[in-house]
Amino acid sequence: MTDRIIIEQGIEARVAAIVEPVIEQIGYRLVRVRVSAMNGATLQIMAERPDGSMTVEDCEAVSRAVSPVLDVEDPMDRAYHLEVSSPGIDRPLVRKGDFETWTGQLLKLETNRLVSGRKRFRGRVTEVSAEGIRLERDGVASEGGEAVVEIAFDALAEARLILTDDLLAASLKADKDARRARGQPVDEDEDGDAALN
């Protein structure tokens, strides 16, 4: 499995170090770990199959696998609710392969240092190299600045797809392809060109 290039800090990094080997051992990939103040404290573990899909049953399997390990290691300093989820359509991009898979889709990202005088970007990845990505910025005419920017992987702090009609259609197609590859039934009447209403 490929390593994540965008990783957590602090307590989230500690939890990730505990759960990632367990998640990989049962055939899934860790996407990210987040701790929030929702419902007192919520520990969210986002995971997926290697093909990028994730069902409710998969979430239950990951939850059953990580719960005993978290109980033993006890990385949180307070009581918390465990939430295991899929990355969703407007998913975070955390691996080089994520940027390759979703090249051309609209995304927003934040860097951990200034790149071309800024830390926040919105645009489409047009190229992925061993060192980083080339981003064609969205709306540059109205705000000024460089239309295309090179961002090294080690400068990325966070990246997330933005929900668009194109992304929805691509996600539906990818899900259908993943189910077909696993030998699961696929409704051929499903509209792979669905649009948001």
- Only one residue has tokens 């929900």, namely 163
pLDDT of residue 186: 81
**What's the predicted TM-score (pTM) here?**
0.86
Distances (CA, A) of 52 to 13, 18, 38, 86, 172: 22, 22, 26, 9, 12
Q: What is the pLDDT of residue 175?
A: 84
Contact, 66 vs 19, CB < 8 A?
Answer: yes
Please report the domains of the chain, with CATH numbers, ordered by start residue.
Answer: 10-85 (3.30.300.70), 89-184 (2.30.30.100)
pLDDT value, residue 180: 87
- Residue 193's pLDDT is 42
The residue to which tokens 């390593």 are assigned: 3
Between the CA of residue 149 and those of 49, 99, 125, 133, 152, what are the distances in Å? Answer: 31, 15, 10, 8, 10
What pLDDT, on the 0 to 100 scale, is given for residue 197?
37
Q: Quote the percentage of the chain above a pLDDT of 70.
A: 92
Q: What is the pLDDT of residues 75-133, one digit of tens each?
A: 998 999 999 999 999 999 999 999 999 999 999 999 999 999 999 999 999 999 999 99
Distances (CA, A) of 117 to 41, 111, 124, 192: 36, 11, 19, 39
Token digits for 77?
């300093």
pLDDT of residue 192: 45
The per-residue pLDDT for 27 is: 97
| pLDDT of res. 11 | 95
Mean pLDDT by 10 residues, the chain (197 residues): 88 97 98 92 96 93 98 93 95 96 96 95 96 92 77 97 94 86 77 42
Choose among 98, 106, 103: nearest CA to 163. Answer: 106
CA distance 73 to 17: 11
**Residue in 161, 162, 160, 164 with CA at minimum distance from that of residue 195:** 164
Q: What is the pLDDT of residue 166?
A: 94
> b or e along 101-113 (b: 16 or more beta carbons within 10 Å of the residue's beta carbon)?
ebeebbbebebee
Name the DSSP class of 95. S
